[in-house]
Structure 1
Amino acid sequence: MQSNQPAFFKQGPKPLTRLLVFAMLSLALVIGDARYSMLGRVREQISVLLYPLQWLATAPFKAIRTGNDFLTRQADLQAENRQLHDAQLVARANEMKLKALETENTYLRGLTAAQASQPRASQLTEVLYNGRDPFSAKLIVDRGDKQGVHAGQIAIDSRGVVGQVVRVQPLTSEVRLLSDRNHMVPVEVERTQMRTVVYGMGRQQLLEIHNLAPNVDIQVGDMLHTSGIDGIYPAGLPVAKVVKVDRQATSFARILCEPLAEVDKHRFLLLLDAPGGRPAYPVEETASAPATKPKRGR
């Protein structure tokens, strides 16, 4: 086949010869570069020339990797944000519980001090719920007949009188608040020692003193304490403070008072025993009928 090739085709060295030549050249370059770093400069120049091609070749893979990293980072940030938000909610709930416990602890310490200052027997009770009648101001507490509660006991908090026990059941009791329309408390003005009666006007309403003359010696800011009259309330318990005196309303002065106790805010109450028995009210002697003279027989 080779003898028939045209003479005008230039024939080079044989493939085996070229293989040996290039193998020896490669070996020499390897040895020279390894021992003497002959191709370091050439390699640097070639790497500079090939960098754009390398960047173009790797750009799609880098873009995909960057997108995956971005999406992963966003998902991680969202998960971390959700965890931090949940932790913040839990921390706020714990903070509110802590504040509630601190407030309750302060309130209980006040009740303990009030209990220690009272010479009569008393017991601590917890408010369960409000009375069902919307037109009355009553509370249901968690002490009843089995715990020694009886009707007539006085309910107080750390500031003053709250109400009175009016109904007792085996496990619960009903307390009528000062603000109830059917409630009245005999009181005494601390400044003048004048005795009167304060009446309830309804839930979350002020108290009122009735049937006093317009020139009565009562001023805004006067403190009212239980007078102990009729043996209903122990004497000396704080009840209310005068907040308004209207001497021109009607023929009687209109006197409004604010309860000192937190009537609608308490959770715990202190039940005091009613005052001890008093002598019976003296009975007026009725005039005896004039004796009739006996009739003489005829």
Structure 2
Amino acid sequence: MEYSPPPLFKQGAPARVKMMVFACISIALLLADSRVRTLQTVRKVAGTILYPLQMAALMPRDALYGVGDYFSSLSALEKQVRELKRQQIASALLLQQAQQRVAENNQLRRLIDAREHLPIKSMLAEILYDARDVNSRKIILDRGSQQGLVLGLPVIDNQGVVGQVTRVFPFTSEVTLLTDKEQAIPVQLLRNGLRSVAYGRGKAGTLELRFTAPNADIQVGDIVVTSGLDGVYPAGLAVARVSQVENSAAGSFGGVICQPLGGISNNAQLLVLLSVPDMPPRPPDEELRQPRKHNNKMAPIKDPAKEADAAATAAATAAGAAPAATGTAPAANGNGAPGLMPVMPATRPAPAPTGVTETATPATSTATLTGAPPGARPAAATAPAARPAEGPERAKAKEIAR
């Protein structure tokens, strides 16, 4: 058998001829496209047909690029989120501080306004902390004796009374609030002037008006102000608002609960009044007179002026001013003051005495006569000290005593 080549290589022109032909065709197409631009439509159609194949060929590369971009962008986003959170926290802190300063500024403005309307000198003080005793209602201020604070000064805010200074240190002071159980303040209702005393209720944070009549004219919403009777708090300062009234017909007193207007829950600054209202001096205590015993018999009340006049009259009588014809001597009354009451004459006339010795008792007056002649018995005149009936002699004796 003889070998024969495939039909393709047997037929047609040689390869060089074919190459020359295709080269000429390519050059012609290039010239036609650049000169006449007749192949633009063919190019668009070919690009449209080949675009899916192109995208399918580029898909692995785009997938690799996408994975890299995803992880890099995720890391950048996490970092950005952390930075934004930090900025948010800082901004929130600044905003909180700004709000606190605004509230403090408003409170200071209100305190300064209240300070201008007060007729008493006052001082601004800041609350440092609460007292350590959990069973009491006390706070510590940043003002002390070095700044002029003393015990008993009232403490207020722009709303009303807060408390009273109870302990003073060189640079700090302790204030007991009105709501403490050991605090009491005299108050009165602003509406009708009804006076009472407000007592603190401790941890409840309220006040109670004790010992009020069940039918007292007290209504919910009434404003309670200081009455100024204690000499510590000036009159007219707001204290509390009545929040609850319990009128019980069976009880002797009614229960009135009040909510304080001033407080420290929303305030950090307070006003300390540096002087208390001027009160009139207290009258001296009356001296208690001890009752004297007169053997259960009534006696006239002593009068210093009358006793002085009676003493002068007795001295004049002893010197011989009284007439001796009657034969009587001035007698002493129940109080021992001679000349205040007349003496009844004796039953028998006694000789004229040269010296008189008197002994006065609450009931009788005895005169012992001395200087009688030798051998004679001394005469004694004893007369009861009973009050005689009202007569001209007694009236004349009163005029002489006066």
> TM-score by structure 2 length?
0.62
CA distance in 2, matches of 1:69, 1:263: 58
- Match of 1:129? 129
- Match of 1:3? none
CA 1:64/1:7 → structure 2, altered by over 3 Å: closer, same or farther? closer
Q: How does 1:7-46 map to 2 (within 5 A)?
A: 27=27, 29-37=29-37, 40=40, 42-44=42-44, 46=46
User: Amino acid of the residue matched to residue 184 of structure 1?
Assistant: A
Q: CA deviation at 1:157?
A: 0.7
- Deviation string for 1:221-275 (max 9, x for gaps)? 3322211113121111111222222232632222222212135432110000242
Aligned residues: 290
CA distance in 1, matches of 2:40, 2:240: 101
CA distance in 1, matches of 2:187, 2:49: 105
CA distance in 1, matches of 2:35, 2:136: 107
Q: How does 1:10-89 map to 2 (within 5 A)?
A: 27=27, 29-37=29-37, 40=40, 42-44=42-44, 46-89=46-89
The equivalent position to 1:282 in structure 2, one of 262, 281, 284, is 284
Whether the aligned pair in 2 keeps the contact of 1:178 and 1:263 (CA below 8 Å) is: no
- Match of 1:261? 262
CA distance in 2, matches of 1:288, 1:242: 49
User: Amino acid of the residue matched to residue 284 of structure 1?
Assistant: E
Larger Rg: 2
- Match of 2:111? 111
CA 1:42/1:158 → structure 2, altered by over 3 Å: closer, same or farther? closer
CA distance in 2, matches of 1:188, 1:148: 30
Higher relative contact order (CA 8 A, sep 6+): 1
User: Amino acid of the residue matched to residue 99 of structure 1?
Assistant: Q
- Deviation string for 1:179-229 (max 9, x for gaps)? 000001011222333332111110343211222332334333332221111
CA distance in 1, matches of 2:241, 2:52: 91
CA distance in 2, matches of 1:221, 1:22: 111
Q: CA deviation at 1:113?
A: 1.5
Whether the aligned pair in 2 keeps the contact of 1:234 and 1:274 (CA below 8 Å) is: no
CA 1:218/1:14 → structure 2, altered by over 3 Å: closer, same or farther? closer
CA distance in 1, matches of 2:284, 2:196: 22
Q: CA deviation at 1:43?
A: 4.1
CA distance in 2, matches of 1:53, 1:264: 77
CA distance in 2, matches of 1:145, 1:71: 68
- Match of 1:211? 211
Whether the aligned pair in 2 keeps the contact of 1:177 and 1:263 (CA below 8 Å) is: no
- Deviation string for 1:122-164 (max 9, x for gaps)? 0111111111100000011111111111111111011110000
CA 1:48/1:265 → structure 2, altered by over 3 Å: closer, same or farther? closer
CA 1:56/1:286 → structure 2, altered by over 3 Å: closer, same or farther? same
| Structure 2: segments with no counterpart, 5+ residues | 293-301, 303-334, 337-357, 360-367, 369-402
Does 36-45 or 163-172 show the bigger shift? 36-45
CA 1:161/1:44 → structure 2, altered by over 3 Å: closer, same or farther? closer
CA distance in 2, matches of 1:90, 1:156: 36
SS of equivalent to 1:231: coil
Whether the aligned pair in 1 keeps the contact of 2:179 and 2:206 (CA below 8 Å) is: yes
Whether the aligned pair in 2 keeps the contact of 1:32 and 1:38 (CA below 8 Å) is: yes
User: Amino acid of the residue matched to residue 108 of structure 2?
Assistant: L
User: Amino acid of the residue matched to residue 244 of structure 1?
Assistant: Q
> TM-score by structure 1 length?
0.80
| Structure 1: segments with no counterpart, 5+ residues | 1-5
